[in-house]
Amino acid sequence: MVVGWLFIIVIGLILVFIGFVWWHSPGTTAPIVDQDGQPVLNSIAALEAVGINGSTQWLLIRGRDQTKPVLLFLHGGPGLPELALLSGHDLEKDFVVVNWEQRGSAKSYEAGKLDQSFTVDTFVEDAAEVSRWLIRRFNQSKIYLMAHSWGTFLGVLTVKKYPELFRAFFSIGQIARQLEAEQISYDWVLQQARERNAGRLVRRLEKQGRPPYRPEAWLDYLTWQREVVARYRGGMYRANFFPLFIRSILLCREYTLADKVRYALGAQKSVRLLWPQVVATDLLDAAPELQVPYYLFQGVHDYQTPYSVARRYFDQLRAPRKQLVTFLQSAHSPIFEEPDLFLSAVHEAMQREREALIAKQ
């Protein structure tokens, strides 16, 4: 009898949870409103499905003034869109912010699509085509590019191949030599585990061994290793990023309930197929020079894309203009960890670009 009641209670709680998530999943984006709750004149808040290189891909487009410069955001992962955290961000005051759900990610997940399309080269072509679409859509000659984590890797390669599309590149948590970065991350987690007397984790890490790994082994390793990095504050310095990230996805109104299921499916597929390509590429060799101004926003406590590796890439990179902004209270996500300082740094970069444009005329 007691077991029966417990079963009913558990099922009831599951149904309540599903209902709660469903209620927060209309699949629409809220209008941008003024202090009286009225839509801001000339603002834009839209979800659009666009055909990109044979694949349907979604864009969240938001800005208080659609005549402002366009900023395309390349999310991390691969396969981990940050739309849920960026919808309504203060960047929308200065830009038309475009969150692109990349091929195979969340709203852009398409079951049954051939795995052969999941190559870095394909994603570079996708990014370029999305950029061209935005240039046409908003009648601008060029756009700004901002990227986080995996997106920085994709962004560098896209800017290198198609510099004519971009005014400047803002990089957050730069991937450069990710195999070396993974080795640093592994060593750091092992050291932290030993200092905390986390014997079980130490044994798991020692059994795993130091990177590199076989291509098929990366997904399983990253699934649990990144959770430990987050717990030890190497993902977000002053908080565990995982609960915040998961909560933001569950409550994201731009996603339907089905999109939230696709999110998990897309993340696994993207990491499995793309990460071996990332760790096999050294951007110091593949992209030593960019023809676009480069701004790097890097947290000193980052143990997903460690500061030392990103700094080395910055120091060796040749670009028309470049600037490193170091965040002392951030790990992998300064845009979310020190938002005021981040926005101030972006504003300064924009001013620098405006002055350079005036001087060029």
Structural domains of the chain ordered from first start: 44-179+241-360 (3.40.50.1820)
* Contact predicate 70/90, CB 8 Å: no
pTM: 0.92
Does the bond joining 211 to the residue before it have cis omega, within 30 degrees of 0? no
* Contact predicate 106/263, CB 8 Å: yes
* Contact predicate 164/207, CB 8 Å: no
- Tokens 């480069």 correspond to what residue? 294
* Contact predicate 171/144, CB 8 Å: no
* Contact predicate 277/271, CB 8 Å: no
Q: How far apart are CA 249 and CA 236, in angstroms?
A: 17
Mean pLDDT over residues 182-195, rounded?
A: 98
pLDDT tops 50 at residue 311: yes
Q: How far apart are CA 255 and CA 263, in angstroms?
A: 9
* Contact predicate 266/112, CB 8 Å: no
Q: How far apart are CA 77 and CA 99, in angstroms?
A: 14
Residue 240 token pair: 């565990």
Please tell me which residue, 176 or 39, carries the higher pLDDT value: 176
Residue 339 token pair: 């938002």
pLDDT tops 90 at residue 291: yes
Strands 166-172 and 294-299, sheet pairing: parallel
pLDDT tops 90 at residue 249: no
pLDDT tops 80 at residue 282: yes
What is the torsional sign of CA 194, 200, 203, 205? negative
**For all residues of the chain together, what is the average pLDDT?**
91
* Contact predicate 189/228, CB 8 Å: yes
pLDDT tops 90 at residue 111: no
Give residue-wise pLDDT tens across range 20-35: 444 345 688 999 999 8
Q: How far is CA 245 from the centre of its chain?
A: 12
Give residue-wise pLDDT tens across range 117-160: 899 999 999 999 999 999 999 999 999 999 999 999 999 999 99
- Tokens 């490193």 correspond to what residue? 324
Q: How far apart are CA 253 and CA 255, in angstroms?
A: 5
Range 287-312 burial, b when 16+ CB lie within 10 A, else e: beebebbbbbbbbbbbbbbbbebbbe
pLDDT tops 60 at residue 279: yes
Mean pLDDT over residues 219-245, rounded?
A: 89
pLDDT tops 50 at residue 56: yes
Count Cβ atoms below 10 Å from residue 74 Cβ, excluding itself: 27
pLDDT at 112: 60
Residue among 128, 129, 181 at smallest CA distance from 150: 181
